[in-house]
Chain A
Amino acid sequence: MWRYLRLYLSFLRFSFSRAMEFRVDFFFRVGMDTIWYAIHLTLFTVIFRHTGLLGGWDFDQCLIFAASLFVADAIQMTVFSNNMWWLPIYVNKGDLDYYLVRPVSSLFFLSVRDFAANSFLNLVLATGILIWALARYPEPFAAGAIVVFLLLLLAGALLSYAVQMIFIIPVFWLQSRAGLREISWSFSRFGSRPHRIYTGWVRRVLLSVLPYAFIASYPVHMLLEGMTGMRLLHTFAIVLGAMTFMIWFWGRAVRSYASASS
């Protein structure tokens, strides 16, 4: 455990020093994510000019949802995103050998090696927006509920990583440019809206096999409408299920990997 922690601290040092070498790109990326935040806030502001409720939530509640989405996304972008971008390239070029022979878990190494320092700045910004959205909400939240809610957002970011990996891992067999990543990106748009705007089987799918609702919408739903044991258990089962399946899938993929030198 300590070995992994020391290794991760080394990753952090290396990532920050590299980010400072490419400063223009660093600020471009910060700007890109800031535009994304502005667009979402604009979207909800404009929608609420024409309606009082969206998926059962008013403007203040949708603001908490949008801010939660920013935080979960920023965590995912900071910790995992760059690594998931490079993974298909390593597989297709046969460069994975270098990582498979390391004396640590290959999944850990390949998932968190590149810490996105620029997105970390966006995480700070997103956290600020979330604090602002929670503070301006008319009804105060209990401290315990906020703590659990933040843990749920962390779980949401982890779930987002697991689901994306499940779509990328097929690259081991497909040798396509990025596995099924584009499909995953298309599906992920469902997670950027309150899940209760969907009805019937679409909502059921978002709460089970394609669990994008758990990234931000369901945690906000629990914060606003009660963290019952059943809801927490549902979330825990989904995150654990996705992570377990992803780890198993990774094992299968690595076993079928044909390296460049084999």
Chain B
Amino acid sequence: MGGKGSSDLWLGLDMHVTVASVAMALSCVVVASFLYFLIDLVIHLIAFWADNVWSLDVGKWFLISILGGYMLPLSVFPAWAQRVLELLPFRVFFDLPVRVFLGELGPLEWARGMGLALGWCITFAAVGRLLWWRGRLQYTGVGI
């Protein structure tokens, strides 16, 4: 991998890695980490109403693994499914950073994906705030 330029063949793989693509991929990872935290927050706040949310947590990982591109590249899904998957919050976890890193997606697609991911961050933060507020109202402390 070149320090500042592109490399067409690296470890036998055809890819176009540049400083910009690495920086864009890293920014995806940062936003993905934040989004993962916010999804986790929402799931765990459901514990105000449910006895155990472990299964929701596992279900979340199942969804991320198939709809985020961990089990399969999203490019192998049918075109209509890809259009839907692009709008869901899971793509930023694997598909977007990997494809940006490999140079398959340019700055425009990266910006669009990041915008959507940030939108999902805001949505989950709002839902989390609502659940926290409602949960505290109905929480019954032991010994208080």
Docked Cα-Cα span, A97 to B40, in Å, equals 36
Interface stretch, picked from A23-31, A157-165, A210-218, A242-250, is: A23-31
Residue B49 is within 8 A (CB to CB) of chain A in the complex: yes
Q: Inside 8 A of B49's CB, which chain A residues have their CB?
A: 24
Q: Report the bound CA distance from A123 to B1 in whole Å.
A: 50
User: How big is the B interface, by class?
Assistant: 10 to 19
| B144 neighbours in A (Cβ, 8 Å) | none
Query: Which residues on B sit within 8 Å (CB–CB) of A104?
Result: none
Bound Cα distance A25, B58 (Å): 13
B51: chain A residues at CB < 8 Å are 22, 24-25
Find out whether the CB atom of A28 lies under 8 angstroms from the CB atom of B66.
no
**Quick one: which of B52, B55, B65, B76 has the most chain A CB within 10 A?**
B55
- B52 x A39 contact (CB < 8 A): no
Q: Is the CB of A32 within 8 A of B50?
A: no
**Nearest chain A CB to B21 CB, angstrom units:** 26
Number of interface residues of A (CB under 8 A): 16
Please name 28 pairs of A and B residues whose Cβ atoms are closer than 8 Å in the assembled complex, sorted by A: A22-B51, A22-B52, A24-B49, A24-B50, A24-B51, A25-B50, A25-B55, A28-B50, A28-B55, A28-B56, A28-B59, A31-B55, A32-B56, A32-B58, A35-B59, A35-B62, A35-B63, A36-B62, A39-B62, A39-B63, A39-B65, A39-B66, A39-B71, A46-B72, A46-B77, A47-B76, A49-B78, A50-B76
B89 to chain A minimum Cβ distance, whole angstroms, is: 16
Binary CB contact string for chain A from 102 to 139 against chain B (1 if under 8 A, 0 otherwise): 00000000000000000000000000000000000000
Q: A25-B50, A49-B78 are in contact. Are A43 and B55 (CB under 8 A)?
A: no
* A25 CA to B51 CA, complexed, in Å: 6
Distance from A64 Cβ to chain B, minimum over Cβ atoms (Å): 20
Are the C-beta atoms of A32 and B55 separated by less than 8 Å?
A: yes
A residues apposed to B, CB below 8 Å: 22, 24-25, 28-29, 31-32, 35-36, 39, 42-43, 46-47, 49-50
Q: Give chain B's interface residues, CB within 8 Å of chain A.
A: 49-53, 55-56, 58-59, 62-63, 65-66, 71-72, 76-78
Task: Tell me the nearest residue of chain B to A30, going by C-beta.
Answer: B55
Distance (whole angstroms) from the CB of A13 to the closest CB of chain B: 20
Distance (Å) between the CB of A175 and the closest chain B CB?
Answer: 23
Q: How far is the CA of A67 from the CA of B58 in the complex (A)?
A: 20
Question: What is the CA–CA distance of A2 and B58 in the complex, to the nearest angstrom?
Answer: 38
Q: How far is the CA of A29 from the CA of B66 in the complex (A)?
A: 19
CA distance A43 to B66 in the complex (A): 8
Least CB distance from B11 to A in Å reads 21
Write the chain A residue with the least CB distance to B53: A28
Q: In the complex, are the beta carbons of A49 and B76 less than 8 A apart? A: yes
